Amino acid sequence: MQDILEQLEARRDSARLGGGQRRIDVQHSKGKLTARERIEVLLDEGSFEEFDMFVAHRCVDFGMEKQKYPGDGVVTGWGTINGRMVYLYSQDFTVLGGSLSETHAAKICKIMDMAIKNGAPVIGMNDSGGARIQEGVAALGGYADVFQKNIMASGVVPQISVIMGPCAGGAVYSPAITDFIFMVKDSSYMFVTGPDVVKTVTNEIVTAEELGGARTHTSKSSVADGAFENDMEALFEVRRLVDMLPLNNREKPPVRPYFDSHSRVEHSLDTLIPDNTNAPYDMHELVRKLADEGDFFEIQKDFAKNILTGFIRLEGSTVGIVANQPMVLAGCLDIDSSRKAARFVRFCDAFEIPILTLVDVPGFLPGTTQEYGGVIKHGAKLLFAYGEATVPKVTVITGKAYGGAYDVMASKHLRGDFNYAWPTAEIAVMGARGATEIIHRSDLGDADKIAAHTKDYEDRFANPFVAAERGFIDEVIMPRNTRVRVARAFASLRNKQLSNPWKKHDNIPL
């Protein structure tokens, strides 16, 4: 019996070494943690339960029968984050470059099936050279199997991908299907075709970092939702995000103890809006003053900065935030901001996370670039996302709400539950000057008349009361009381029930 137990421990020690100490040292020399070290950082201490530690590949081509490692380049299992269950896999670059084989893929699929069945998030830590070339189509089939599991899990359990090394070719499509992608600066990259292929086909000379590094995907392509300085920071931030998400689509978001007053009044908000309505202000200030302890987990903060998305807690409960940012493009909606916000709204709706929308939008960004780029369809994505969402929706209009952008930003007409406005709100078809020049076109040559007409238009429409008179605004509130009013609104909506007509699925304008 003792011999068998010793043999088991010896096998476990071999599996824990992955590709061997030399390769582990190389991984450390690059400033990267190993697959198992990443799991230790991510999960609660001692909570990890591993599956398939001794699985090995079955390939015998190209001398592969001599290169067998227990676990086959990926560590899989489950554990807890602050006591809440998650399933995870962590690719091991020390084993054949973390390349995906048929058995490697089967291990990932197995834990994804368990996550769907048991209702817990899936976290994938990607660090792989891609498909294992020696296995050919079997490895490609493995990738497709993983993609199918990602699709089936979408909207059922939260899926988070952390890119912690290379992720190229077909490997990129699994993270692309997941809900959130985080990258590590200077040590991770994603692209469909690498720099060498790009140079051969298009004659472009580009580095891996420029082509698919963290900065590229967080600020230009919007593929990634955030980038962090190193493995440790990335994993700690993933823990923080998981803390805000429900375990699955049948559970409510978690409620945490909070140490902020539920009746906190923020007098500074009474002066947040400048006297000159064309002067910008930072919407981050409002978001943080509404949130419990000022904590805001921002999503895609480096992309489409004219709109903010992310999570806060109100009275301990998770709330999704969508807010126009007057500091960038005056808060106008455009192609990028519409796509960014629409995807975020759909995630919140899929997982029963209430949505708070803060509105200060002068309209859609004009120009040929926007029209040629399809701003009509991209803007419709946000419109569609809000319109189909059945979660509690509270909207606060702080400043401008002009034209179609007013409708799109969770207006009463898109089944907004509570729609508040500050006294500084301006709800109209367009700005006073533009409206005057259209309505009083015959007076365009007379500056005094145009000024008088503009003043008259401002007096009539540059306020929230016309909309309030029609019931499109539920109440005009004092800025200082916004946290209290919004928190009470969400509290009253906890048992909201709303369903859409039966359909196989909708046809959002992608």
Q: How far apart are CA 463 and CA 446, in angstroms?
A: 26
CB-based burial, 47-85: b 16+ in 10 Å, e otherwise: bbebebbebebebeeeebeeeebbbbbbbbbbbbbeebe
Residue 488 near residue 295 (C-beta atoms within 8 A): no
Q: Angle, nearest 10°, between helix axes 482-492 and 283-290?
A: 60
DSSP 382-435: HHHHHHH--S-EEEEEEEEEEHHHHHHTT-GGGT-SEEEE-TT-EEESS-HHHH
- Catalytic residue ranges: 169-170, 404-405
The secondary structure of the chain in percent helix, strand, coil, rounded to multiples of 5, reads 45, 20, 35
452's CB contacts (< 8 A; 6+ apart) are none
User: Which tokens sit at 26?
Assistant: 């190389």
Give me the count of residues in the chain: 510
Q: Provide the token pair at 342.
A: 């629409």
Q: What is the DSSP string of 248-279?
A: STTSPPPB----S-TT---GGGGGSS-SSTTS
- Which helix (H) or strand (E) segment holds residue 286: the answer is helix 283-290
SS3 206: coil
Q: For residue 191, report the phi and psi dihedrals to the nearest 5 degrees.
A: -160, 155
Q: DSSP letter string over 147-196? A: HHHHHHHTTTS-EEEEE-SEEEGGGGHHHHHSSEEEEETTT-EEESS-HH
CB 509 within 8 A of CB 377: yes
Dihedral (Cα; 445, 450, 451, 457), 10-degree rounding: -170
Contact 253, 351 (CB under 8 A): yes
